A and B are shown apart, each in its own frame.
Chain A
Amino acid sequence: MFRRIMLGLALCAAQIGVMAEVAPEAFVQQLSTEVIDAVKADKAIQAGDVGRIRSLVDTKIVPNVNLQRMVVKSVGPQWRSASPEQQKRLTEEFKTYLINTYAGALTQVKDQNVKLRPMRTGTNPNEVVVGTDVVGKGEPIQLDYRLEKAGDAWKIFDFNVLGLWATDSFRNQFSRDLSAGGIDALIERLSEKNKTNAGNKS
């Protein structure tokens, strides 16, 4: 009888183990470690092969990002006045731009490690901020993420470098073109930038 209860408990525990959702810190730690290890292991990336870094970001990071939410946040109120066609093109250009931005930051990675900072609990359990320090030579670089719950997993919808949230920065940078020429001007500007960056091989 006792053994059966124990077995039952053990099974139950195993079940819980399988069902348990990934903790947001664990998600960030794993993603950061994976990316940094990939950068360190790749000789081509070390040599400054931007194309390789971009494909790394595309395959490892982008699937964990809620791109739609980021683009809406970055564009601001004008998003809703854009036609579906404009929204589609804007999202495409934004994605490339975001990949380039992240890849640009990764070119600065040399012998760094990522350490989690203690997490502060907010009011909304489905949206959390996880803070990390990228530690290497010199001052540690603060890199934080805003995560939203997506089923059992988490998705990034904003990130913060040295105190600056990406979407806040994007919004301020986009606002010039938006107020000068609206959505089309912004699409044009992003597409120009992406083309220039595509030409840069290192």
Chain B
Amino acid sequence: MTLRRVAALWLAGAAVLVLNGCATTSGTRGDPLEGVNRAVFSFNETFDRALLKPVATGYEAVLPEFVRNSIENFFSNFNDAWSAVNQLLQAKPAAALEMGLRFGVNTVFGFGGFVDVAGAGIERRQEDFGQTLGRWGMPPGPYLVLPILGPSTLRDTAGLVLDIQAVPEAFLDQRPERWALGTLHVISVRAGLLSATRALDEIALDKYSLVRDGYLARRRRLVYDGNPPDEPETPDNDTTEDSPPK
């Protein structure tokens, strides 16, 4: 089966699911596509259980901690440069300068970013293009679960199109090297999340809604640099169900 046919099938399946989703559930606030999102989410969970998590677990078991840390530092350092660009785009020159400095210091004195010399001395503030769009007033739009990539929103997905051009593997010309570095990147990120996802699995009653609520809340905070405007507290004896669709 060619890739194109797979994609076509996937889209057709997605369309059916969207229609089903609309017919059965109206979705929660901020999540009108809950039906299809849940389907992609469970696909991602299966994929993770079958492939990603075992590989990341093996990676963690085989490589010594300082090697894993160095690899993680290398990718984070690249990301720092992209954060600096985004801070500039968000008209935050001081923060941009700081992150630019962080990138410079670690690249020069940290052997190309493998050692995080700057450490906690220059605090890391991660910014991506989705946050930049948010900063200029673009609302997050509906919540989306992307295949393999996981939780996102319409705005963050748009941002992702640029974000994935700014990872180190995107700068390699040769295909095999690109795939190798990209694979390492994914495994490194997943390995870094192992203990967090273990804790998540233990506490989640409905993992889908926990991940969604957590993602949306966190993104909102990031867009407002940690100080989002207060949201009204849900009253204790709230009798209103989710407001009916208008």
Residues of A within 8 A of B (CB): 69, 72-73, 76-77, 80, 97, 100-101, 104-105, 107-108, 120, 137-139, 142, 146, 161-165, 167-169, 171-174, 176-177, 189-190, 193, 197, 200
Known contacts A169-B214, A173-B209; A162 and B202 CB within 8 A of each other: no
> Cα distance A161–B213 when bound, in Å?
11
Partner of B124, one of A139, A171, A174, A190: A139
With a CB–CB cut-off of 8 A, which chain A residues contact B218? 162-164
**Does any Cβ of A come within 8 Å of B58's Cβ?**
no
- CB neighbours (8 Å) of B204 from chain A are 173
Residues of A within 8 A of B214 (CB): 161-162, 164, 169
Interface: B244 (CB within 8 A): no
Bits for B199-228, please: 1 = Cβ < 8 Å to A, else 0. Answer: 100111110011001100110110000101
Main secondary structure of the interface of A (DSSP, over half): helix
* Least Cβ–Cβ distance between A26 and chain B, in angstroms: 23
Say whether A167 contacts B199, CB under 8 Å: no
Assess whether B236 is in contact with A104, with CB atoms less than 8 Å apart: no
Give bound CA distance, A140 to B28, whole Å. 30
Considering only CB atoms, which chain A residue lies closest to B29 in the complex? A172
Contact between B241 and A174, CB atoms less than 8 A apart: no
Contact A164 B236 (CB under 8 A): no
B24 within 8 A of A: no
- Contact, CB under 8 Å: A163 / B199: no
B189 to chain A, nearest CB (A): 13
Q: Write the chain A residue with the least CB distance to B192.
A: A138
Q: In the complex, what's the smallest C-beta–C-beta distance from A116 to chain B, in angstroms?
A: 14
Which B residues touch A190, using CB under 8 A?
A: 205
The closest CB in chain A to the CB of B200 belongs to A104
Q: What is the distance, in angstroms, from A112's C-beta to the closest C-beta of chain B?
A: 12
Closest to B205 in A: A173
Given the known interface contacts A104-B203, A142-B221, the answer about A77 and B28 at a Cβ–Cβ threshold of 8 Å is no
Please, which residues of chain A bring their CB within 8 A of the CB of B2? none
Q: Is there contact, CB below 8 Å, between A176 and B203?
A: no
Within 8 A of A (CB), among B170-220: 195-196, 199, 202-206, 209-210, 213-214, 217-218, 220
CB of A169 within 8 A of CB of B213, answer yes
Instruction: Determine whether the beta carbon of B206 is less than 8 Å from that of A104.
Output: no
- Complex interface: chain A residues within 8 A of B226 (CB): 142
Known contacts A139-B126, A174-B205; is-contact A168 B236 (Cβ 8 Å):
no
A36 to chain B, nearest CB (A): 17
A72 CB contacts on chain B under 8 angstroms: 236-237
Interface status of B65 (Cβ within 8 A of chain A): no
Query: Would you mind naming 19 contact pairs between A and B with Cβ atoms under 8 Å apart?
Result: A69-B236, A72-B237, A80-B237, A97-B205, A104-B202, A108-B196, A120-B230, A137-B120, A138-B124, A142-B226, A162-B218, A163-B218, A164-B218, A165-B233, A167-B234, A168-B234, A169-B214, A172-B210, A173-B210
